[in-house]
Chains A and B, each alone.
Chain A
Amino acid sequence: MKLRIIVSLKNGVLDPQGKAIQHALAGLGFEGVDDVRAGKIFELDVADDASDEAIDEMCRKLLANTVIENYRVEKQ
């Protein structure tokens, strides 16, 4: 089973990288970009019988820092 795990900063946490990208887009002439949030995607290939609990635990224990980040799991 293929998993796609999307990790992004929580709302309200300032994203300096996103801000820099936003400014760079404006510098390239792309107007109207009100906000940019940078994140990470992990693509995992796991056993078909991997439990939701185990996947959730992987995210909480290592892939995301839940102090500042949210995660979302997509099964493909």
Chain B
Amino acid sequence: MKTAVIVFPGSNCDRDIATALEDVTGTAPAMVWHGESELPSGIGLIALPGGFSYGDYLRCGAIAARSPVVRAVVEAAERGVPVIGICNGFQVLTETGLLPGALMRNSGLNFVCRNVALTVDNSQSIFTSGYQAGETITVPVAHHDGNYFADAATLDALEGEGRIAFRYAEDVNGSARNIAGVLNKAGNVLGMMPHPERRIEAAHGGTEGRRLFEGLLEAVA
């Protein structure tokens, strides 16, 4: 499968996700700079990496969400191309409106950087088919603005439609209903604050993240 990683000025997990995608798919992803107005053809998965796009000025992800390449990402997502946004990539996806809600400053005001336990809420999506529903996995987080907010009606809808992919097993950052990752209505867009690309091989301390990419590859193949 051909994949693309979008690179913004300030992205710092672009090579991590590129390594993970190459490891799992066997093909190096296209690294696409933010100023491009088109994506390479035939891309089967687009990844928005973690980091601090545009220095997090204005709001996390806000300026990246209005960059030329993200307009192409939004069009591809609306055509059904799978898109995963991790950490800052999740913030970008909420700022585009592809995903509901917003990510605010962590309730404890601290940057949180450690392994956390996540519960897999829905194992039916293309992104989570490598897991069992209800399974607890360990994945690292590293963020200052991961406090997921949406109004109660939106949260109820997300729960009702099975669109919560992952929840924190403990309160990590004040997120509403402990939400760590959400899906769009069509199920082809996932945003999550934890970093599965940092949990790919045994030397990382575990391989739970790898299963996300392997499951995705199997689901879309």
Contacts and interface: CB of A to CB of B under 8 A. Distances in A.
Contacts of A20: 109
Given A16-B104, A16-B109, A65 B59 contact: yes
A68 B104 contact: yes
B174 interface: yes
Contacts of B212: none
Contact of A16 (B58, B107, B150): B107
Contacts of A16: 104-109, 147, 174
Interface residues of B, number: 20
A62 interface: yes
13 contacts: A13-B104, A13-B149, A16-B106, A16-B174, A17-B105, A61-B66, A62-B58, A63-B58, A65-B62, A67-B94, A67-B149, A67-B150, A68-B102
Interface SS majority for chain A: helix
Top 7 A-B pairs, shortest CB-CB distance: A67-B102, A68-B102, A16-B105, A16-B107, A16-B109, A65-B102, A20-B109
B121 interface: no
Interface in B113-138: none
A68 B151 CA distance: 9
Interface string B141-183: 0000001011000000000000000000000001000000000
Contacts of A63: 58
Nearest to A42: B58
A14 B107 contact: yes
Given A62-B66, A65-B59, A68-B149, A17 B102 contact: no
Nearest to B97: A67
Interface SS majority for chain B: loop
Nearest to B152: A12
B14 interface: no
Interface in B29-70: 58-59, 62-63, 66
A17 B94 contact: no
B95 interface: yes
Given A16-B108, A17-B105, A68-B102, 4 more contacts: A16-B104, A63-B58, A67-B100, A67-B149
A16 B106 CA distance: 7
Interface in B52-95: 58-59, 62-63, 66, 94-95
A65 B99 CA distance: 13
A17 B109 contact: yes
> Which residue among B95, B101, B109, B149 has the maximum number of chain A CB atoms within 10 Å of its CB?
B149
> Which residue among A13, A17, A65 has the maximum number of chain B CB atoms within 10 Å of its CB?
A65
Nearest to A68: B102
A62 B62 contact: yes
A21 B213 CA distance: 42
